Amino acid sequence: MTTIEDDTDEFPEIDRKAVEVDILAGARAYARLLNHRTDDWTSWSITIIGFRGLRDIARAEAHTMDIHSYAYRQAMSRLLQLRKYAVYDQIKKETRSFCYKLMDAIEDINVWYAGLEPDEQMQWKHPQSIVKHAPRNLVDGGRGHNKPKPKGRKKRAATIEEERLKALLIQVIKRLAKFDPSALDLLDQIHPADPDDSVDDL
């Protein structure tokens, strides 16, 4: 994650009550993942939103936006010792790193994910696979880090708004296809045949 310099004068206010709701919902979702009662991206998404809330509280208590700072790590450590947040401490360090990369753009990632083919959704459930396959502009807090190595002609990256509209359009076409199967042909215009458009290259 990119280091953000302290700026206590412009530190964002937190709706503690709303954040607590997200955190507790995330804790319940992760508990289900730990018990293998569910294994899906929805549960991970809820968990990441809750973890984001915990991060925001830790940053506020530490008076810093830098999650790599000693003050932040101490604040997060104190929070994780509380019983109601303790389940988040069971997230492995590597997985926690993937969660940090996704949390600031999680809502846009959910829109992108909803537009995936069913077989892709079945394969990509864990934060690590989402980091690998999600559009680069949505990874690492939507700041465009971890850009892929260029292959041939450089293509302009789609904006978050373009990805959101594209995902919505795919959903509309799929619903329309229930009444008119030929509507699926429109998907070819959204995903033109281009060897550089492979999902693995995103």
Contact status, residue 139 vs residue 101, Cβ threshold 8 Å: yes
Write the pLDDT tens digit of every residue in 88-141. Answer: 999 999 999 999 999 999 999 999 999 999 888 888 999 999 999 999 999 975
Res 50 pLDDT > 60: yes
Is pLDDT of 42 > 50? yes
Average pLDDT, the chain: 78
> In sequence order, which residues have a C-beta less than 8 Å from that of residue 187 and are 6 or more positions away?
170, 173
Burial of residue 61 (CB within 10 Å: 0-12, 13-18, 19+) is middle
Domain coordinates in residue numbering, the chain: 8-91, 108-201
Q: How far apart are the C-alpha atoms of 189 and 192, rounded to whole Å? A: 5
pTM of the full structure? 0.61
For residue 109, the number of C-alpha atoms closer than 13 Å in the C-beta half-sphere is 33
Q: Which amino acid is at 144?
A: G
For residue 173, count other CB atoms closer than 10 A to its CB.
Answer: 18
